[in-house]
Structure 1
Amino acid sequence: MLSVNFPPPNFKIKKVEDKEQIWDPSRKKWVRLTPEEWVRQNFIQFLVEEKKYPASLISIEKTIRLGEMKKRYDIVVFKNALPWLIIECKEMNVPLSENVAQQILRYNSTMLAPYLIITNGREHFGWEINEGRGMSLTELPDW
């Protein structure tokens, strides 16, 4: 399991028609604050503030094609214009099961990133993919 200590949140949150929204500085827009979005925003803040990943190279919730299907990834960090790290976020009450690992592996079948992370905000697992094999990570790679 990865060691991830989220920094204290410093998010902008507002209510619109009884629904909370959070300002996403990466997408530069207000988005609905769901339990999964809370995990996503905390992880992005961790990447930028703690790990010093460049915010400009972090892509959030973009559509990719998996055969005939269209899917949306949660977070992808690019390095040298290529996918470098894919992060799949789940809300806190969703266990990080084999199904979640299979989901990120399907995404990576087209993106070919060397690092994969799954998180539910409490638990975080990661792998370095090298020659088709996954080796468990104990911490996120340094930028």
Structure 2
Amino acid sequence: MQQLNFRKYPLRLKNSENRWWIFDIIRKKFMVLQPEEWVRQHWLHYLITDKGYPASLINVEKELRVNGLKRRYDIVVFNSDGSMAVLVECKAPEITIDQKTFDQIARYNRSLGATYLIVSNGLQHYYCQMDQQAEKYVFLRDIPDFSR
């Protein structure tokens, strides 16, 4: 897999059934190693190891409804009170991050109400803080560390 714009993490890989698999530290099972999954697992390690978010407050690939349609978000991090803290949209490294990507995460966030949004293809990372009242976002250099 392609080297991403993250430090090295202890990712667990295995080769089985003629394909590569990567261990998901949240779902506690091996997932087929696809480019987007490679990015998602790096984000999970970054959020837990580098930013201090507890694994117990993280959900991966859950269904949500957007304009009556079923969709799946990549990663959501909750605050201790159960409110949404962070929404992460992962793309494969070969996917260009463009306005369509930001529109997608904005649509998802109308349903979820996360304070921070991250869009990443593993090579480029974009961080935003939402202003829910004004319905706009401000770009940041990073998201804050977890605070209890």
TM range (shorter): over 0.9
Shift of 1:133: 1.6
Q: Does the 8 Å contact 2:25/2:44 carry over to 1?
A: no
Q: How does 1:77-88 map to 2 (within 5 A)?
A: 77-79=77-79, 80-88=81-89
CA distance in 2, matches of 1:18, 1:32: 11
Q: Verify the 8 A CA contact 1:7 1:50 in the aligned structure 2.
A: no
TM-score scaled by structure 2? 0.90
Number of corresponding residues: 140
Distance of 2:136 and 2:11 partners within structure 1: 37
Identity %: 39
Q: Report the alpha carbon displacement of residue 6 of structure 1 after superposing the two structures with TM.
A: 2.3
Q: Give 1:5 shift.
A: 5.9
**1:34 partner letter:** Q
- After superposition, the CA RMSD in angstroms is 1.3
The answer as to whether partners of 2:5 and 2:124 remain within 8 angstroms in 1 is: no
C-alpha separation in 2, matches of 1:86 and 1:139? 13
Return the structure number with greater relative CO, CA threshold 8 A, min gap 6. 1
Give runs of ≥4 in structure 1 deviating > 6 Å: none
Matches within 5 A, 1:62-101: 62-79=62-79, 80-101=81-102
